[in-house]
Amino acid sequence: SERASDRIPPDAGIAQLREGAQLCRDCPIGENATQAVFGEGPAAARLMLVGEQPGDREDLAGHPFVGPSGHLLDKAMQELGWPRDSIYVTNAVKHFKFELRGKRRMHKSPAQQEIEACLQWLDRELDVVRPAAIVALGAIAARALVDRPVGVMRERGNWIKRTDGLRVLITLHPSALLRGPPQEREAAFAKWLDDLRHASRYVG
């Protein structure tokens, strides 16, 4: 069956793909979100960071990783000496899935079928950017990128080689660090930096 991305020419760049994703309703998430939040960064980037899905703030702003998780990611990139504008930053799922609790829009994890439906866009981003390596931030990104189950806590800091040869570094999603016990945050952040540092050779 035809997918939304099949209507976008094969030689389309990121801007044209972003427009296409705005019209996508290939899974139910697209109905309730404000807008699709596509990846951002140079098409010539050697490193791609992949998160889960836009959050409340990203959904409203239309840009990936601009909320609390994004702030922690920015802090990590600063510590690592990774200029954010040299990295392509995106998500496995392009629309925000949430549950209303009063006035609050609470994050909901995407279902496997939704991750699979949205993979068409991440695949197109990979075709355009052709990164040398990818960082999977959390289990949803890992599941989207690697065709076997990945235990994030067991495999964090390790590279997984895909069947197409692309290397995927497994680590935690920043929201996992934000949810952790406050007295352990500093150590958890340092450990996260140790994971991410494995990808430093692909930056700059």
Which residues of the shown chain bind ligand URA in the complex (CB under 6 A)?
Answer: 51-55, 58, 64-65, 67, 69-70, 91
117 binds, among ligand URA, ligand SF4, none (CB under 5 to 8 A by kind): ligand SF4
Nearer to ligand SF4, 93 or 203 (CB): 93
What is the distance between the alpha carbons of residues 75 and 79, in angstroms, rounded to a whole number?
Answer: 6
What is the distance between the alpha carbons of residues 183 and 160, in angstroms, rounded to a whole number?
Answer: 31
Residue spans of alpha helices (H) in 34-173 = 56-61, 68-80, 112-129, 139-145, 152-155
- Residue pair 103/56 in contact by the 8 Å Cβ criterion: no
Q: Which of 33, 174, 30 is nearest to 105 (CA)?
A: 33
Q: Residue 47 interacts with ligand SF4 (CB under 6 A)?
A: no
* Binder of ligand SF4 out of 21, 45, 72, 166 (CB under 6 A): 21
Q: Residue 26 interacts with ligand SF4 (CB under 6 A)?
A: yes
Q: Residue 27 interacts with ligand SF4 (CB under 6 A)?
A: yes
Structure tokens at 17: 């793909």
134 binds, among ligand URA, ligand SF4, none (CB under 5 to 8 A by kind): none
Amino acid identity at 73: L
Q: Residue 30 interacts with ligand SF4 (CB under 6 A)?
A: yes
- Smallest gap from Cβ 203 to ligand SF4, in A, equals 28
Nearer to ligand SF4, 7 or 201 (CB): 7
Q: Which of 152, 193, 173, 189 is nearest to 52 (CA)?
A: 173
Which residues of this chain interact with ligand SF4, rule CB under 6 A? 21, 24-27, 29-30, 36, 93-95, 114, 117-118, 121
